Chain A
Amino acid sequence: MTLSELLGTSFVQHAFYAVTAVALAAGAVGYFVVLRRQAFAAHAVGHVGFAGAAGAVWLGLSPITGLLVFCLGAGLLIGLGGASLEESDAVVGVTLTAALGLGVLFISLYSGYANATYSILFGQILGVTWGDVGLVASLSLGVLIVVSFTYRPLLFVSVDPQTAAARGLSPRSLSLLFMALLAITTVVAIQIVGVLLVFSLLVAPAAAAEVLTSRPLRAVALAMGFAVSSAWLGLFFGVWVGGPVSFWITAFASLSYLVARVVSRTRVVRGRRVLA
């Protein structure tokens, strides 16, 4: 098959729609993950999802059901459990460990072959069906709608919870809401890049954006842009050159962060010269 024939196949097209929807949601949510310094929580939610998926497979359910239940549960637990930052780290760590332990148990109980586990860990984007695309796209769209609706209050409680509370917002409820959004985004991102590489869509693009601009709205747009272009390039290279799509997406997302750091470095140096 030629490249254009490959790109025209239904499985590549399904993948294209799915990665686009997921990358947009992950970029937007990722900005808040980076802003709120909650990368560890994001990491934990993904790994907890692994236990959920393994459990679902063992019970003969679809992995995404287990992912949703476990990720949402972990998100709410982390959101409820940690009032202060130090406390929150401990809650995240314990939740993470407990869930990983369960995951090990579920895998040992499940006697079937390990393909399902493998795709949860590393993603299986080229295997998604129309049904999967519909689910992933509607979850991503839902996340985007809620994030845009709560954008200002979420930003306010993220940067200045004390003042936001005085102005009538509830940092606690918004933090819970955000953990729920993070959990759903993690679930859909796992469909594409898997548990282990979920950061490539969730954190790397947003971190790159935060390095490049101090305007929040611009940073969200940039994060979404980086995530989508990494996802598209990753999919394209996966089909064209071969190799796992999740590897390529991770490579491009990491590259965007590296480039952002270099660009901001040269900007600072130039800025200093102007000042001097």
Chain B
Amino acid sequence: MSVILMKDGAVVLGGRTIWKNASFRIEPATITAVLGPNGSGKSTLLNLVLGLIALQEGSLEVLGAAPHRGNRRVGYLAQSRAADAMATMTGRDYVGLGFDGPRFGWGRDKSKSDVVRRALVLTGTASFADQPLRILSGGQRQRVALAHATVFKPELLLLDEPLAALDLAAQAEIVDLINLIRDTTGAAIIVVAHDLNPLASIVDHVLWIARRQVRSGTVDQVVTEEVLSDLYGHPIEIIVTSRGRRVIVGLEEEFAHPHPHPHPKGFVHGGEPAHSHLSEVYEEETT
């Protein structure tokens, strides 16, 4: 059974079509990278799977059922967490919130400390779990966040930009950990990312979102000059280095202005290099 099954999905937010005609399936124990320009609707995809928003058209099944909020079988790591308030507590407490944070009432679950300890061991965070998050490095904090997200051994794990704001060494550590979680728990893992390269060694599938379209397939099927040129509507070149790294040429505009808008949520921009932001603003105002 597929973990996620999307058929002809279309999302409309605030009257704007984010993307449409999306069909793909995601199988257990696979890692899928979700790529595309800012505001193209990558996090929107995660919000759909989490049951926070609904499809306008088409159908979506998550673990054989309609997506619903609070599903323990789905783990989630948000892109920006309220670091300030969170940082005053210990890693163990934060992971504990993954276990019983959503539960009201006075009772205590006796299995909590064991379950939390197991998650800490799996993610290699046990040795610093009793330090306040404030004094940990970015990579250590992200490992704790992964322990939080995997505390119930989810069958589906959604990671929104888990490598953002990490140095290269920490990125490599997190990538190894994501792979380890897949191997030990058999979870299907979806990773929203800006750059495929750091993840390339562990990724099985790619969902590339641009210009309101979603392309899915293996890395070799999607990350080709034909598919990406078609997706972006202008020529894209891919140079494969001697070590097998793919350098994608033709997305300079996107990477030169990684955060062109302070409020990218729900704002669709195509990411075409020749396409100036002026015309996008114009489009926004006339619609």
Contacts and interface: CB of A to CB of B under 8 A. Distances in A.
B173 interface: no
A163 B104 contact: no
Contact of A152 (B69, B103, B131): B103
Contact of B82 (A150, A152, A159, A215): A159
B69 A159 contact: no
A111 interface: no
Contacts of A166: 50, 52, 69, 76, 78
Contacts of A36: 85
A36 B86 CA distance: 10
Contacts of B84: 37
Nearest to A36: B85
Contacts of B28: none
Contact of B101 (A153, A210, A215): A153
Interface residues of B, number: 32
B69 A168 contact: yes
A117 interface: no
Contacts of B101: 152-153, 155-156, 164, 167, 169
B94 A149 contact: no
B90 A152 contact: no
A148 interface: yes
A163 B160 CA distance: 11
A214 B104 contact: no
B132 interface: yes
B82 A156 contact: no
Contacts of B104: 149-150, 152-153
Chain B at the A interface: SS class:
loop
Contact of A159 (B79, B80, B85): B85
B89 interface: yes
Contacts, number: 85
Contacts of B76: 163, 166-167
B282 interface: no
B106 A160 contact: no
A155 B97 contact: yes
A238 interface: no
Given A168-B70, A214-B132, A148 B106 contact: yes
A159 B70 contact: no
A163 B81 contact: yes
Interface centre among B70, B93, B102, B149 (most CB of A within 10 A): B102
Interface string A137-171: 00000000000111011011011111111111100
Contacts of B100: 152
Nearest to A169: B102
Given A150-B104, A163-B76, A216 B93 contact: yes
Contacts of A149: 104-106
B229 interface: no
Interface in A232-276: none
Interface in B89-115: 89-90, 93-94, 97, 100-106
Interface centre among A152, A159, A168 (most CB of B within 10 A): A159
A35 B88 contact: yes
Given A148-B106, A149-B105, A162-B80, A210 B88 contact: yes
B102 to A, nearest CB: 5
Interface string B65-87: 00001100000111111101110
Interface in B31-53: 50, 52
Interface centre among B69, B84, B88, B93 (most CB of A within 10 A): B88
Given A37-B84, A158-B85, A160-B81, A165 B52 contact: yes
Contacts of B81: 159-160, 162-163
Contacts of A159: 81-82, 85-86, 89, 94, 97
Closest 8 CB pairs of A and B: A168-B70, A156-B101, A214-B132, A162-B78, A159-B86, A168-B69, A166-B76, A159-B85
Given A149-B105, A162-B80, 13 more contacts: A35-B85, A37-B84, A152-B97, A152-B101, A159-B82, A159-B97, A161-B82, A163-B77, A167-B102, A168-B70, A214-B89, A215-B89, A215-B90
Interface of A: 35-37, 148-150, 152-153, 155-156, 158-169, 210, 214-216
